[in-house]
Chain A
């Protein structure tokens, strides 16, 4: 149980194009999903918290107009990297919790990640 999928697993695009990454919770509903970015040999950096039916909450320094997040259902959140540039190349990972409540401590389950390369 508690499986999270991401699609695509790997994408290569040209500079200036937009790329959409999907994150799905396969066997549970997630009111909240999280998007992270990971550089080689580094830790995960939280980009934004995605709540179903409402606007995402972005961490300081993350451009919300560049990284568009949509959480349309309890099992799907998407991250769109708009007008991608080579510096956006990275490993993007999403996570979801089966249940999130204020003050909650539920486990986050992570997707397998998406490797984005912008040429």
Chain B
């Protein structure tokens, strides 16, 4: 079975500071990892994904994430946070051959960026 954990329910940062939203995963096969962002009463917007290749993945809106196999982590980062980045962030995993497209989501992390 695959699972995703986002250990922080909330993350608060000041505008202009770097931000990190943590994600760890557990899968039996090769992990395919995703980050999505959700604004209030909206669906999820795709930010980035890791399939294979470079461990550092760059995505939309200046976000990036680093895949760390030894630590089974896929933390989301941004060098300089904006107030408009405030939203709910989800990490998700698809174990590829065993899950055939099904995503398992973490519980979500509320990011608040203060002016």
Contacts and interface: CB of A to CB of B under 8 A. Distances in A.
B100 A112 contact: no
Interface stretch (B38-46, B63-71, B76-84): B38-46
Interface string A76-119: 00000000000000010101010010111111111111010000
Interface in B62-107: 90, 94, 96-97, 100-103, 105-107
Nearest to A106: B101
B103 A46 contact: yes
Contacts, number: 63
Interface size class on chain A is 20 to 34
Contacts of A6: 43
B101 A112 contact: no
B102 A107 contact: no
Given A103-B100, A105-B96, A111 B43 contact: yes
A107 B34 contact: yes
B56 interface: no
Interface string A43-73: 1101001000000000000000000000000
Nearest to A102: B100
Interface string B27-50: 000001010100001111110010
Contact of A113 (B43, B46, B103, B108): B43
Given A105-B51, A105-B94, A110 B100 contact: no
A42 B74 CA distance: 20
Contacts of A91: 41
Interface of A: 2, 4, 6, 32, 34, 41-44, 46, 49, 91, 93, 95, 97, 100, 102-113, 115
Interface of B: 32, 34, 36, 41-46, 49, 51, 90, 94, 96-97, 100-103, 105-108
